[in-house]
Amino acid sequence: MQEKENDSKTEFIKEEEDNTQQFILQKNSKTKMAILIISIFLVILIGGIVISGLFFGEAS
């Protein structure tokens, strides 16, 4: 099996003061805004599916 060149641990969320290149998300205002927008979109989407199920599910 081939070994990795860089065996450092990848962090999920990087704090602003951390000095690392191995991270998935950075803890800053852009990330927080993106998570908020995606969460609102998912809530609206799930709500739409539930409401359409209530209205159109009774017809069958």
Distance CA 42, CA 44 (A): 5
pTM: 0.60
Distance CA 46, CA 54 (A): 12
> Locate tokens 């990795």: which residue?
4
Q: Where are the beta strands (DSSP E) in the chain?
A: 11-14, 23-26
> Locate tokens 């809530």: which residue?
43
Q: pLDDT tens per residue, the chain (60 residues)? A: 565 555 567 776 676 667 777 777 777 788 889 989 999 999 999 999 999 998 887 655
pLDDT at 9: 76
Rg value, the chain, Cα: 20
- If you ran DSSP here, which 8-state letter would residue 13 be given? E
